[in-house]
Amino acid sequence: MNRNYVFASVIGFALLALVPVFTHNPYYIHLVETIMIYAILLFGLDIVVGYTGQVSLGHAGLFGIGAYTAGVLFLKVGAPFWVIVPASIAVTAVFGALLALPALRVSGPYLAMVTMAFGTIIQILINEMTFLTEGPMGLKIPKPAVAGYKFDEQSFYWVVTALLALSLLVVHRVLRSQLGRAFEALRGSPVASDCMGVSVYKYKVYAFVISAGFAGLAGCLYAYSEQYISPNTYNNELTVMFLLAVIMGGRKSRIGSMLGATIIVLLPKLLDDLEMFRMVASVLAVLMLIGAIIGVARKMTTAQTMAVPVVGTAALAVFAFWLDSITDWRLSIFGLMILFVVYYLQDGIVGFVRSLLSHRSRGAKTAHVAHAVDSHVDPIIRAAKNGGDDVLVAKEVLMQFGGLKAINQVDLRIKRGTIHGLIGPNGSGKSTMMNVLTGIYVPTAGSIEFEGRSVVGRTSSDIALSGIARTFQNVQLFGEMTALQNVQVGLHHTFHSNFVDVALNTSRYAQEDKSATARAEGLLAFVGLADLAEEQARNLPYGKQRLLEIARALALDPQLLLLDEPAAGLTAPDIKELVLIIRKIRDHGITVILIEHHMDMVMSICDTVSVLDFGQKIAEGQPADVQANEKVIEAYLGGTAT
């Protein structure tokens, strides 16, 4: 972790811990405690929403499960606090796996509906299972006692503070590890994740389970904090508030989660108190005006973009003084504020501040890139097996989409250690062939054997891990991740450390992380992207994105590398560079299948070329023979040769 962050966190938590010393007012202590409890839940929700990009409206339900696990275990079993906390986490985590099931099938609005239904069902169950939960009557739980010591308002506050700090540490470690990268990759491109050996199925469930664990901890602490729980707390309104908190605070940010928690706890209180509302609205308007003036003066933003927020906050302040009573307007003001934040600050408050700051520090960004490539033991590219046999044998492959035979009875034999060209007009089935080889499509008929083992019917991630890596015709990078992180996702298979290793930062994890980082840097250097390691993939020029995809694919230590039009969109000097790279890859013994339209490139580097037309193989052989083939000239080369 960055030194400054550690320092800021320590100061922040020290200040938090001092709250009960400065104020003895139990109302304020309880308010801050609630914010901290919500923040723990939001850390977890952010994993699902911010990182994997799934919607969850089921988190109030999970929160309820955590609270009721604690309540029931205390009242029915008399379990001690130190058993109840881990039990609440574990029970809720199991329900998290249940909530993940719909996410494996549906997404977007459908997922929102299904997860909301989950929350509703949980609430109904809590209400109906009176033998455990006392139904609408609710449960009363006293503050916990440990080893004879009974916690009071103040000391329990410190328990919550400590657990918030611990949660922050764990979530931070998980998200910066290979697990966090896997979650983020799902959002970037599920197809590419699978083809890099990161199973979308597995990591979606994993993300929901971890997320639910935090919700369970939060729920458990909430039960002890309120000392009374009843089913109607865990309703759909709360679940929407949680989601809003993540969006308003700023996704993919722990500060964002804490800010979001503060907003959803304090905003309703603020809207209860007219004097306070007037003051906050005025301060907000003045701050916005000052911010806009500075922003425009420094050319960080334009007067036009700032006009609406400035006028909006000013109008809010005027409105606040015009109002006589706030009660009738509460909900409308609340709704407007949310609309404003969601519309204007799409990356939340933290995202907005970040964008202002990054504006300033542009240019300094690429300074800290590691150049030390020679310093590690691991070879950057692992040599593949050698020998003259066939790596891949496909027989009579048929791929039918409705009535269209995109691939029609195609045989392919790919000799180990060669570059095998696959050419043909647009729509002839080349990309479909790659999708069939990598498990994205299951062929309608035919057999495919890779290294003597059938590929048909296996998942993409399983096939990838067995040694087939690929790039995509329309680039599939993890856009919000840096170039380095993209390659590190490809190195996911080199990690054997689990959640516990990551959370405890064990030497096994540290070792794996170190060597993966060094190899990722080496691979970036190999494709000439060392200087751009810290740049977000989506900000790279198109040609560089294609090279990055190759580096990421190599990270998988493949026996067979499939390149789908790697030179498309590249400039002439870049293509020369690419040819050198592909040759070097082959020299490491890695077999390459190359789909390409640049004929001079295909003819110069391929050992064998197969030609597809309307899904059928019409020719195969040495480049020169194929080039002279009548059928090929008629179908393809005559019109489109470059």
Chain contacts with Mg ion (rule: CB under 5 A) = 431, 473
Binding partner at 401 among ligand ADP, Mg ion, none, C-beta below 5 to 8 Å by kind = ligand ADP
Of residues 361 and 642, the one with the C-beta less far from ligand ADP: 642
Query: In the complex, what is the shortest distance from the CB of residue 588 to Mg ion, in angstroms, rounded to a whole number?
Result: 26
- In whole angstroms, the minimum distance from the beta carbon of 479 to ligand ADP comes to 22
**Least CB distance to Mg ion at residue 401 (A):** 14
Instruction: Choose the one of Mg ion, ligand ADP, none that binds residue 190, judging by a C-beta under 5 to 8 angstroms depending on kind.
Output: none
Tokens 């495919």 identify what position? 448
Task: Choose between 78 and 639: whose C-beta lies nearer to Mg ion.
Answer: 639
**Alpha helix positions (H), 1-137:** 3-22, 26-46, 59-72, 81-105, 108-128, 130-133
DSSP state of 151: P
> Closest CB to ligand ADP among 12 and 427?
427
- The first and second tokens of residue 467, run together, are 């040694």
Residue with Cβ nearer Mg ion (408 or 473): 473
CB of 189 to ligand ADP, least distance (A): 16
Considering only residues 414 to 433 of the shown chain, the ones binding ligand ADP according to CB under 6 A are 424, 426-432
Q: Which is nearer to ligand ADP, 81 or 636 (CB)?
A: 636
Report, in Å, the least distance between residue 424 CB and ligand ADP: 6
Residue 119's binding partner among ligand ADP, Mg ion, none (Cβ under 5 to 8 angstroms by kind) is none
Smallest separation, CB 486 to ligand ADP (Å)? 24
Of 403 and 638, the one with the shorter C-beta distance to ligand ADP is: 403
Among 73, 406, 437, 487, binds ligand ADP (CB under 6 A): 406
Please list every residue from 433 through 472 that binds ligand ADP, using CB under 6 A: none
Distance CA 28, CA 16 (A): 12
Question: Which lies closer to ligand ADP via its Cβ, residue 193 or residue 432?
Answer: 432
CB of 426 to ligand ADP, least distance (A): 4
Q: Give CA–CA dist 470/236, Å, rounded.
A: 43
Which listed option, ligand ADP, Mg ion, none, makes contact with residue 489 (CB within 5 to 8 Å by class)? none
With contacts defined by CB under 6 A, how many residues of the chain interact with ligand ADP?
11
**DSSP letter assigned to residue 365:** G
How far is residue 72's CA from residue 77's CA, in Å, rounded to a whole number? 7
- Tally the C-alpha atoms within 13 A of residue 258's C-alpha that lie toward its C-beta: 15
**Closest to ligand ADP by CB, 285 or 602:** 602
Binding flag, residue 566, ligand ADP (CB under 6 A) = no
446: Cβ–Cβ under 8 A, 6 or more apart, which residues?
394, 395, 396, 397, 398, 409, 410, 456
- Report which residue's Cβ sits closest to Mg ion: 431
Contact by Cβ (8 Å): 419, 578: no
SS3 of 564-616: the string is: ECCCCCCCHHHHHHHHHHHHHHHHCCCEEEEECCCHHHHHHHCCEEEEEECCE
Work out how close the CB of 406 gets to ligand ADP at its nearest, in angstroms, rounded to a whole number: 3
Q: Alpha carbon 240 to chain centroid distance?
A: 21
Segment holding 421, helix H or strand E: strand 419-423
Beta strands in 205-271 (DSSP E): 228-229
Stretch of 166-174, 238-246, 399-407, 621-629 contacting ligand ADP, by CB under 6 A: 399-407
Counting contacts by CB under 6 A, is residue 199 touching ligand ADP? Answer: no
**Nearest CB to ligand ADP, comparing residues 233 and 432:** 432
Q: 64 is in the binding site of which of Mg ion, ligand ADP, none (Cβ under 5 to 8 A by kind)?
A: none
Count how many residues are written for the chain.
642
Nearer to Mg ion, 62 or 410 (CB): 410
Interacting residues of 207 by C-beta distance below 8 A, sequence separation 6+: 47, 48, 51, 52, 54, 100, 183, 186
User: How far is residue 37's CA from residue 371's CA, in Å, rounded to a whole number?
Assistant: 43
Instruction: DSSP letter for 385, please.
Output: P
Q: Phi and psi of 230, rounded to 5°?
A: -145, 155
Is residue 496 exposed (0-12), middle (13-18) or buried (19+ Cβ within 10 Å)? exposed
- Tell the smallest beta-carbon distance from residue 410 to ligand ADP (Å): 11
Q: How far is the CB of 618 from ligand ADP (least distance, A)?
A: 13
Summarize as ranges the residues that interact with ligand ADP (CB under 6 A): 401, 404, 406, 424, 426-432
